[in-house]
A and B are shown apart, each in its own frame.
Chain A
Amino acid sequence: GAVVSQHPSRVICKSGTSVKIECRSLDFQATTMFWYRQFPKKSLMLMATSNEGSKATYEQGVEKDKFLINHASLTLSTLTVTSAHPEDSSFYICSAKGQGQETQYFGPGTRLLVL
């Protein structure tokens, strides 16, 4: 149980375009979802936290207009990188947690490359 999927696993896009990444909890209801960014050989940096049906809470320094997060249902959250630039290239990982759960379950990650 507690499986989280992400789609796509890899995406290459041109600078200036927008990219949407989906995060789904497959076998549980994710009342809270988290989006992380991981730079090469670095730890995970929390970007934002979202509760189903509410606006996301962004960490300091993360541009909410650039990284749009939607958590419209208990099984789906999306991260849209708007007007992507090469410096947005990174590994984006989502995680999900159910009501009352202590554990976050992580997706397999999405490798974004902006040319």
Chain B
Amino acid sequence: AQSVTQLGSHVSVSEGALVLLRCNYSSSVPPYLFWYVQYPNQGLQLLLKYTTGATLVKGINGFEAEFKKSETSFHLTKPSAHMSDAAEYFCAVRTNSGYSTLTFGKGTMLLVSP
């Protein structure tokens, strides 16, 4: 079975500050890892994903994440927050088997203040 833990239901940063959203996973097989963003009353938009290869992956809107197997982590970062980054962020894991279902973390709400 796989699971995802997102530390902190809310993270507050000032505009221009570093964004760090934490995600730890557990999986019995090599995982595929994803970060999605959800704006109010909208569906999920893929930010970035890790499947194989380079462990530092870059996504849209200046976000990036690094897969660290030894720490079972896939933290999301952005050097400088924008007001438009305020949204809910979900980390998800899936295995390359079966129907390839995603298991989501509980989400982290990013709040950006001026």
Contacts and interface: CB of A to CB of B under 8 A. Distances in A.
Contact of B51 (A102, A105, A108): A102
Given A42-B106, A44-B104, A102-B32, A57 B46 contact: no
In this complex, the interface size class of chain A, counting residues with CB under 8 Å from chain B, is: 20 to 34
A43 B46 contact: no
Max chain B Cβ within 10 angstroms of own Cβ: one of A34, A97, A103: A103
A104 B90 CA distance: 13
Interface in A57-115: 57, 91, 93, 95, 97, 102-109, 111
B6 to A, nearest CB: 9
B33 to A, nearest CB: 10
B83 interface: no
Given A46-B101, A49-B101, A51-B99, A106 B41 contact: no
A44 B42 contact: no
Interface string B86-114: 00001000101001111011110000000
Contacts of B106: 42-43
A51 B44 CA distance: 21
A106 B43 contact: yes
A104 B102 contact: yes
A103 to B, nearest CB: 6
Contacts of B100: 32, 97, 102
Contact of A105 (B42, B46, B105): B46
Interface in B41-79: 41-46, 49, 51
B43 A103 contact: no
A49 B104 CA distance: 15
A25 interface: no
B101 A34 contact: yes
A109 B42 contact: yes
